A and B are shown apart, each in its own frame.
Chain A
Amino acid sequence: MHKEVYSICFMCTVRCPIKVTVEDGAVRWIEGNPHQLKGALCAKGSAGTALLNDSERLRYPMIRVGARGEGRWKRVSWEEALAYSAEKLQEVISKHGPESVVFGERQNLNTHLSKTFMRALGSPNHYTHDALCKGSVNTAFRTLTGYTDAQVTIDYANCKHIVLYGRNIFESLELKPIQALMDAMEKGSRITYIDTRATITASKAHRFWLIRPGTDLALNYALMNVILRENLYDETYVNRWVSGLNELRGFVEAMTPEWAEEETGIPAEEIVALAREISRDKPQVVFHYGYRGANHTNEIYFRRSIIMLNALMGSIESKGGLIIKKTAKDAGYGAFAKLVDQEGLPKPKAPRFDGVGGDLLPICDPAHGVGQQLPLAILKEQPYPIKAAISYRFDPLLSIPDYNQNKRAFDKLDFILTIDVNFSETAWYSDVVLPESMYLERSDSLQMADGPRPTIYMRRQCVPPRYDTKPYWEIIKLLAENLGVGKFFPYNTIEDIWNYQLKDMGIPLEKFEAKGFVALSDKPIIWDRKDGIKFKTPSGKIEFISSLMEEKGFASLEPYQSPSAPPEGMFRLTVGRNAVHTHVSTQNNPYLNELVPTNVLWINTVEAAKLGISDGQYVEVSSDQGWGRIKAFVTDLIHPEAVFMLHGFGRQVPVTTRCYNKGASDTALQKNITDMVGGSPGLHDTFVRVRPA
């Protein structure tokens, strides 16, 4: 039997639309949805079949038997696992209150169910991975425009010049943007790439600056200095839509290109040249605000400076610039419903564990929280004791900086529950593991993809589960029922959820069959640049002086502080991704592990020579937090103050045999510190010592 199923990939969080060919009940071929991606798919997407067939993923419910992390498990039925989990959670709740339970997940299509679950329990403590990735980008956008970064997108196809600050676009593999940018480059679009090392994106750029780590903000202030001094900005747009220009003008007056050259190592005249060049193409230009924006503790000011540069170019809500995403309502439909908006669901009053919305992190986004505060909150018992952690397709032990501290914190918990597809570090350290069916084996809640053309996508089950696993929507409902709050999950099938989501939109489910998605608008919806842009700030403008920040006592423009240079023999640890792996979730995939089985440490040729390190040699990397052993990759094309490694290696779960103990763990080395305005961790704020191993 041959069938073709439109669905949504989930090997990474991009969620590309796919078409899956199933023959005789087995997945035979996965390709990008030809209606949108010309059939293209990345390595991860094609390796979906390898995950489906992998016997090293989670296969059945388990209860821990030995000590935590010892690896002794009892295979149990779903009924037993759920009843036991509910009993343990109930114990914690009756002793310490519902707020002592914290739920963390990587944002996904079922997040509205997780949030419903936590509110039903009476706990305010739901967080996503968002802050760890880009909390400060989110906050920066809200302070300036009233929108989060997730509510804004980029019109790559019509962009004439894009500036990327370490946004390694050709190794982070969002298929649609890559295809659009490649097409635009063929028509003459230019890329300026700025990073502390030469990535593949750097090798495709028209201009590359090897910048001193942590000084991108100085570069941006100098660009603003030139733009304002030479009147290179879009005057009509700025006069209409920007407030606080004079304050900015005064603020950047002293920050000249010559000053920035000292800071960044980029020649002053090249900075001037970029400002002039990009101004010629405005407003069809983009200063990319970044995806992962979690490098330094002043991240908020850097990300704000990028968005302000876009505002000066008039590129926000411009063809070839940044476009504010439009919703179903903007396309003339009713709202897309979420279960968390149902009537009667409790609204917990206790403060959040991470301090978001309180005195600690007043302006971070409570829709996501600040996840890296979890181990600190557990250890300090501030604002109250936390005694249970639930993790769903998120690996806090390996994603939050300082692995060893994370473990010490988790040791203080009474109960750890993990729901996942993979045998994550957190699953290995859990008391109960509930295995989720992988994405080809399940359907999920619909995806409402806001955008210039809002579109709804459907992930549809292609094959039956291979092992004793369940889809999350069923797991969370069963867990809720075991805890006596099942009434907030009024569905029995995935179709019930889909119909609930579409109840106010008048779109029948059959409409998804032809292409796997339903577009709500034929043409891109772009607001009128003269009068129609609906900024959601109090003033309705782009606020260079942010009311959100000023009200909470934060300066909108903070004096620049030069990042300290590492002492001799030490380096600033920088981390990143490549095209083959997703965060911490694919390192054990048979096909992907074969392509990139380990990470290496990029180190500058001159510095390596001083330390007696040659290319390919093993080195020891250490910090105050931890230690690792890794092969050196010696190159001229990394800044002498920095070393670099891929995220997600150095794994400690023995049953994931392919990636166990391969390479070094960045998480083990990093210290857990946060931009306390924006909410991102400072992932590049740890100095490490490197020596031959």
Chain B
Amino acid sequence: MDLSYSDKELAFREEVRAFLKAELPSDLSDKVRAGATLSKQDHDRWHAILHARGWLAINWPKTFGGAEWNAVQRHIFEEECARAYAPRVVPFGLTMLGPVLQKFGSKEQQDHWLPRILNGADWWCQGYSEPGAGSDLASLKTSAVHDGDHYVVNGQKTWTTLGQYANMIFCLVRTDPGVKQQEGISFLLIDMETPGIKVRPIILLDGSAEVNEVWFTDVRVPVENLVGEENQGWTYAKYLLTHERTNIAGTGFSAAGLDALKRIARAEVAGGRPLIENPLFAARIARVEIELMAMEITNLRMISKAASGQAPGVESSMLKVKGTIIRQEINDLTRRAVGPYAMPFVSEAIEGDNAGIGPDYARPVARQYFNNRKISIYGGSNEIQREIIAKTAMRGQTG
């Protein structure tokens, strides 16, 4: 057992810190810290800065222009980025589609699409969920019918995150309705500009417009946009999921959130003393901090297992459940910490005009609390993760 990072890892952390200090634009980190909505331009800017340093595709092999970092390096990098309030790298192209194309895509697809992910030419979104297919993803109905050198796509996707910025969507579509659900699904790349596609924003309960509904009416997609083999899409989707679930514990976000919470609790006064000295509130903070300390080690244990070549299985489900519970608890405490000033709804639109509504730090916290209810729902809800954990445990395979 050695609980400390190696000298090499520590040096790497220093390198990351120096990079963030020098290259992360302060107007961007200010926006992230303030909980403001990032524009497409904001995302593109950070994307380009990381790309220039060669630190964008941290999970890709070098042959495809990636950094090819091991799990520990990725963890350190993501943790430092979160703590520095760097914008979140949009995952759809980089951590989801990229690995699928590298493993299952044709040479032509790799040559065409992968560089475009890196240079930001394409913005990808994920077209999996449908109104009737959420947790039960395999019941999806959007159909793709072979017609000459095209597929004709009809159906509806929903919850498409940042689809309003995307020019490309990767979709799971049904190419064979006559077989067992999982066996008739294909993985298709679709240009959002194709006639017959309609995108409608869904406003979430905190007022944000980050997800969309996407309709397909007789959308013609060239057959060369099929990834891998027809009807094998489920296999690729499952492979993608294992990648979607990297950094799933989100300990960097929790650590940044805990720092912010303590800052706020130091500034707020309750009953004549700093809130952080209030025994009840201090106990609440301490409890979640203790959870996070253990979570960080849990995370590192899983990471070092992954770094030694073992595929993450049920571990990622455990990290997802516990990681989201901790993040949501921190969001909850932060909302409580600001007291009555959690009540105002300060939208992006009026933020400038209403500088006087409570302390700056109070403005986003209630919205973040409500918005982050999503993290235990999306990417496989916590109930689904627990099912996976329980099933594995029943087979005697949890370590």
Asked if A and B bind, the verdict is: no
